[in-house]
Amino acid sequence: MAAKIPLSRVYQSELIDRRILEVVKGGNYILGPECREFEKELAAYFGVPHVVLSSSWTAAVHLLHIAQGLKPGDEVLVPSLTAFPSIEPMIHVGAVPVFCDIDDTYTICPEDAKKRITKKTVGILPVHLYGRPVNLNAFQKLAKDHNLWIIEDCAQSHGAKYHGQRAGSFTEHAAFSFYPSKNLTVYGDGGAIATKDPEIARKVTMLRNHGRKDKYLHEKVGYNLRFNEINAAVGREQLKVLDELNAGRRRAAEWYRRELAGVKGIVLPPVDIAGETETVYHMFVIRLDDHDTRESLGKHLKEKGIETGVHYPVPNHRQPAIEELYGTLPSLPKTEDYVRRILSLPMFPSLTEEEVKTVAEGIKGFMQGR
């Protein structure tokens, strides 16, 4: 069998190895100078005034919701096609996720979201899924018309742009994940919120560290959801090459488009709109004719040493945990259709042209032999 092609491959370098050792020998391990510099550098990169690190995306957004004053019974518009952690923090504070359908970009549909606004709706959490920016113009208008806040879920979109501006910088708040498969990783769990509100930044900073105002004075009952120095050092070095790494992803995406052009039975990811979107391809997701074809193709590629994935096979409004909380929710037709047919292909910055050709040949051979 030929060498395996993984779904994801983490960027590594000797410089990062040296930086890890420097931090270990330096004696600062939690919320030290590396963390402070990483927060500043992230804020500068994304063009936002405040970034606060936390132990994960989920932890950071949980703290953000508390700082916002999100309360039981409040409703938040969110796509059902997203990772389950997108909705966990709001549920933990008692708010209710209101699931919306998607459009053909796989991101939350503005028209569908508008229909679901009620007197209890307080905010929107649009997800820049697979690295493609959401239609932010539409959601900013929707938020303004109905007095709603927006949190951009940027877990999969580090460096993506919308109308030339980085995703994560458009709205009041945004949230980032640094999980190992992300475009920007820290070799472990980690996350951050970006905010334009200095008081929100102050509250989240305090809440992540036991509610401390200083070492022995606790203004609030907080949490231990801190970030560490080793991960921060890794993140700082990854951030320096993020644009280069994203260029590698876009290059691989173009190879896929060339190799899979015209293959019957496959729908490729939507192309960028010139001057509007700049996708960073956290994932390269194709869509097959039906569920059986998706499953068979995935198995076929696995036998050839090619790893694939499905993001995500069960939409959140159909998750057992959600049905336990809210009962059976109304259907979201496009979401429910697409999750049965989508397949994520290998995608990472160092993916080679030969590896893309190998994946494409495996797909074409299967599709032609049906």
E strands, the chain, are: 50-54, 75-79, 96-100, 121-124, 149-153, 161-162, 165-166, 173-177, 191-195, 212-214, 217-218, 266-267, 277-278, 284-288, 342-345
Q: Which CATH number fits domain 14-100+107-240: 3.40.30.10, 3.40.640.10, 3.30.360.10, 3.40.50.1820?
A: 3.40.640.10
229-240 and 33-46 helices, crossing angle to 10°? 30
Query: What pairs with residue 287 in β-bridges?
Result: 267, 342
On the question of a cis peptide bond just before residue 11, with omega within 30 degrees of 0, the verdict is no
- Hey, where are the domains in the chain? 14-100+107-240, 242-368
Distance CA 92, CA 71 (A): 10
Predicted confidence pLDDT, tens digits, the chain (370 residues): 456 999 999 999 999 999 999 999 999 999 999 999 999 999 999 999 999 999 999 999 999 999 999 999 999 999 999 999 999 999 999 999 999 999 999 999 999 999 999 999 999 999 999 999 999 999 999 999 999 999 999 999 999 999 999 999 999 999 999 999 999 999 999 999 999 999 999 999 999 999 998 888 999 999 999 999 999 999 999 999 999 999 999 999 999 999 999 999 999 999 999 999 999 999 999 999 999 999 999 999 999 999 999 999 999 999 999 999 999 999 999 999 999 999 999 999 999 999 999 999 999 999 998 7
Distance CA 108, CA 127 (A): 7
CB 220 within 8 A of CB 2: no
Q: How many CB atoms lie within 10 A of CB 305?
A: 14
- Name the percent of the chain in helix, strand, coil, to the closest 5: 40, 20, 40
Q: What is the CATH number of domain 242-368?
A: 3.90.1150.10
Q: What is the pLDDT of residue 3?
A: 62
Is this structure's pTM higher than 0.85?
A: yes
